[in-house]
Chain A
Amino acid sequence: MTAAEETLEERNSRIVIDMWQKVIREGSREAVLRYIAPGYIQHNVNMPSGREHLLRLVDIIKDTPADFNPPRHKELVRTVAQGDHVVVIWEQEQDDPNVPGATYTGHAFDMFRLEDGMIVEHWDDTRKWPKPW
């Protein structure tokens, strides 16, 4: 399908997945500036609102301090989009609290709101990190 035939939902989902690849997996500052709006509203409990905090995050992703415990790798399960919202569902292996050393498959969620192809707001299910950066 060419770009001209994309629905709003397909376009927004593509933007979100491309942003995730380049920002979260590759730590690209350029991708933060291309995809994240300056007035970015952040509902993740560990980060304040504002694009500058994502720029700080990609610096950490690129050059991870020894005491920083990065989140586990997530595999895409599916996206659900409607209008300006995109929900992304991921699979990730998590430590089993009952069996030391064992893991089980859990799910993680992100929701994004976009305006004119830029991501302006983000929600996720993250718990408070014991040591916020």
Chain B
Amino acid sequence: MSERITSLKPAIDAADGQTAPVIAADHAQLLHSDDPVLAANKRLCYDMYRTVLQAGHADRAPDFIGPHYIQHNPNVMSGVEALQAFIRGSRPQREILPHIELPLVSIIAERDMVNFTFVRTEKDGDGNSYHTSWFDLFRIENGRIVEHWDPAMKSADMLKLDPNDNKIGR
């Protein structure tokens, strides 16, 4: 038995020897779950992403994130205030859009966790672009996000970096 969670479509052509990245064709499909708790957890994280991380509305963070937020990203401290300071320091406020604009591959939910996978564009040592994947994992407790993991490496640049210009295939 195979259960595809969504249909994927090619995002952009890839360089020789690389597999072309794919993105989800339909976010409503990604947000679906037969389990109402998992569906609500996905929606909570999706709305936080498009409101706080994408649109830069740091003041809205407490609507989605618990006060004792545990942050595993090595460049940002734990706590909702530290996240708000990071957002204010790294991106302008924009209009809140109904969809996540970054190239989203999947939203996977199980137990108290929700994982987002994105296509991410990086530059190699020669300045040539290539594609890899980015992940954000959230743990949810009592309707609020209480913990976050991502693959970020320690870097002072990250505190100034707005990832929202990474919009291939849209």
Q: Which residues of A contact B (CB under 8 A)?
A: 8-9, 41-45, 48-49, 77-85, 87, 89, 94, 96-98, 104-109, 111, 114-116, 123-128, 130
Contacts and interface: CB of A to CB of B under 8 A. Distances in A.
Contacts of B2: 84, 114-116
B109 interface: yes
Contacts of A94: 153-154
A49 B20 CA distance: 10
Contacts of B114: 80
A91 to B, nearest CB: 9
Given A82-B110, A85-B106, A107 B122 contact: no
A103 to B, nearest CB: 10
Contacts of B149: 77, 89, 107
Contacts of B130: 45, 128
Contact of A87 (B72, B124, B135): B135
Interface in B140-170: 149-155
B3 A83 contact: yes
Contacts of A89: 135, 137, 149
A97 B4 CA distance: 40
A10 B23 CA distance: 25
Given A89-B137, A114-B2, 15 more contacts: A43-B19, A45-B132, A80-B110, A81-B108, A82-B110, A84-B4, A85-B106, A87-B135, A89-B135, A94-B154, A97-B153, A98-B154, A123-B117, A124-B133, A128-B122
B44 interface: no
Contacts of B3: 8, 83-84
A114 B115 CA distance: 17
B74 interface: yes
21 contacts: A8-B1, A9-B110, A44-B132, A45-B131, A48-B18, A77-B149, A80-B113, A81-B108, A82-B33, A82-B108, A82-B110, A84-B2, A84-B4, A85-B108, A89-B135, A96-B154, A97-B155, A115-B2, A116-B1, A123-B133, A127-B122
B161 to A, nearest CB: 15
B17 interface: yes
B36 interface: no
B119 to A, nearest CB: 9
A1 B124 CA distance: 46
Interface string B40-84: 000000000000000000000000000000001010000000000
A96 B128 CA distance: 25
A84 B135 CA distance: 18
A104 B108 contact: no
Contacts of B19: 41-43, 48-49
B112 to A, nearest CB: 10
A64 to B, nearest CB: 23
Contacts of B131: 43, 45
